[in-house]
């Protein structure tokens, strides 16, 4: 049983403005038994009470200075990422960010109980080409570097002989709202649909035929937040990794016509468009939509991640993970993925993020 501080747990959430971190902050704050400190370059816009710290995770001295007063942190949720073009450099930088923070938290907080890592299905090489599916947590690693391996190796070694333990989740595509995030597919689809409709075009699927018909999985950011807190607080999950998905599979071939119907558009065919090249020049169309529909003042590039969308829509192989391990350990939450996409897009319209 983990220690409480003043009757509450205290979470330190890194990457607090991302799709994962933002929803973790909101979920923890609404539970009522957590005090939350978020670490990010800018505060997330969540309607809950929490404290924000602007700390450079790449700077060991800044981490130690920022953590000096955080003497009662019980849980660290590490959802930060520093992307780099060179994958070996990316692995080093992200491993060092984790090490800088862990060292600082350990020095400051004698009541540290748990460190939770948010990773993903790149662990299994989902971005490299066809791979064995459904992927399982004990599948062999890939030769291609990923910072996930370096971070887990570090945390396993660091934990030896310590009173705290660790856990990790490996979600597929994470879907939820955030701004300025490089992995934000739902808002990207919403902007793409709105601009296409304004130009009188059908809603073409901007990927390849293989992607259109393959099997994929996703996870709602709120469901992932619940899973992360579960893994970080359930003693039976200590020092283990878990695949977390919505619990089902989907094909764009089935989902895409429903998205077109939501926007009252004709579903176009499959056409590899290259959104990273074609969409930025359409920003004036988006700006006009913001004015005409009195939308919230988000620039197009704050909502839409065109290179990420091109990557997702270029994958032509199945990407499916087994969640048997998580279910056997007690996590049973599930969600219909097609309904999730439609509900999140409808929510963006209600909130005047997209027309």
Angle at the Cα of 245 (from 182 to 42), degrees rounded to 5? Answer: 30
Name all domains of the chain by residue range, CATH numbers in brackets.
9-172+219-243 (3.40.50.720), 174-218+249-350 (3.40.50.720)
CA 24/CA 117 separation, integer angstroms: 12
Q: What angle do CA 29, 184, 97 make, to 5 degrees?
A: 65
Q: Give the C-alpha separation, 77 to 166, whole Å.
A: 10
* pTM for the model: 0.94
Helix-helix angle 87-108:147-159, to 10 degrees: 30
pLDDT in tens, 120-172: 999 999 989 999 999 999 999 999 999 999 999 999 999 999 999 999 999 99
User: Using an 8 Å Cβ cutoff, are 77 and 117 in contact?
Assistant: no
More reliable by pLDDT, 284 or 44: 284
Pseudo-torsion of CA 42, 87, 275, 305, nearest 10°? -20
pLDDT at 139: 97
Phi and psi torsions of 92, nearest 5°? -65, -45
pLDDT at 181: 72
Output the pLDDT for position 50.
82
Give the C-alpha separation, 122 to 355, whole Å. Answer: 33
DSSP string, 271-295: ----HHHHSGGGHHHHHHHHHHTT-
pLDDT at 174 over 60: yes
**What's the confidence (pLDDT) of residue 48?**
67
Q: What average pLDDT is seen over the chain?
A: 94
pLDDT over 50 at 317, yes or no: yes
Cα separation, 243 vs 325, whole angstroms:
8
DSSP-derived secondary structure for 126-174: TTTS---SSB-TTSPPPSS--HHHHHHHHHHHHHTT-S-EEEEEE-SEE
Query: How many other C-beta atoms can be found within 10 angstroms of the C-beta atom of residue 144?
Result: 11
For the ranges 5-9, 154-158, 207-211, 229-233, which has the lowest average pLDDT? 5-9
What does the block give as tokens for 333? 């939450």
What pLDDT score does 44 carry? 63
Query: CA–CA separation, 187 vs 209, rounded Å?
Result: 23
pLDDT band at 7 (very low <50, low <70, confident <90, very high): low
Q: How many residues does the chain have?
A: 355
Q: How far apart are CA 355 and CA 341, in angstroms?
A: 16
* Alpha-carbon distances, residue 13 vs 59, 214, 333 (angstroms): 17, 34, 22
User: Closest Cα partner for 26 from 53, 50, 54?
Assistant: 50
Kindly indicate the confidence band of residue 300, based on its pLDDT and cuts at 50, 70 and 90: very high
């Amino acid at each position: 049983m983990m220690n409480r501080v003043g009757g509450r747990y205290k979470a330190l959430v890194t990457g607090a403005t991302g799709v994962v971190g933002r929803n973790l902050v909101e979920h923890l704050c609404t539970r009522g038994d957590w005090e939350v400190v978020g670490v990010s370059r800018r505060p997330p816009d969540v309607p809950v009470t929490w404290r924000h710290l602007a700390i450079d995770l790449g700077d060991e001295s800044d981490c130690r200075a920022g953590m000096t007063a955080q003497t009662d942190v019980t849980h660290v949720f590490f959802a930060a990422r520093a992307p780099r073009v060179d994958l070996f450099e990316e692995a080093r930088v992200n491993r060092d960010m984790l090490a800088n923070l862990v060292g600082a938290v350990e020095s400051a907080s004698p009541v540290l109980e748990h460190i939770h890592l948010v990773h993903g299905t790149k662990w299994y090489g989902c971005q490299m080409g066809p791979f064995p599916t459904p992927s399982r947590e004990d599948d062999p690693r890939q030769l291609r570097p990923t910072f996930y391996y370096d971070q887990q190796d570090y945390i396993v070694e660091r934990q030896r002989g310590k009173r705290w333990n660790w856990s990790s989740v490996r979600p597929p595509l994470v879907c939820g709202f955030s701004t300025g995030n490089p992995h934000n597919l739902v808002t990207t689809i919403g902007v793409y649909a709105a601009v296409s409709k304004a130009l009188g075009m059908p809603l073409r699927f901007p990927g390849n035929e293989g992607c259109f018909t393959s099997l994929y999985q996703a996870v709602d950011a709120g469901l992932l937040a619940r899973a992360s807190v579960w893994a970080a607080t359930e003693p039976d999950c200590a020092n283990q990794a878990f695949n977390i998905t919505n619990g089902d599979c989907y094909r764009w071939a089935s989902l895409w016509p429903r998205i077109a119907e939501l926007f009252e558009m004709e579903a176009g065919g499959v056409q590899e468009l290259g959104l990273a090249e074609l969409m930025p020049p359409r920003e004036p169309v988006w700006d006009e939509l913001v004015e005409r529909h009195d939308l919230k003042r988000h620039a197009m590039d704050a909502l839409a991640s065109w290179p990420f969308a091109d990557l997702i829509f270029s994958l032509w192989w199945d990407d499916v993970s087994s969640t048997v391990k998580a279910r056997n350990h007690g996590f049973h939450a599930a969600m219909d993925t097609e309904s999730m996409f439609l509900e999140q897009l409808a929510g963006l319209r209600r909130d005047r993020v997209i027309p």
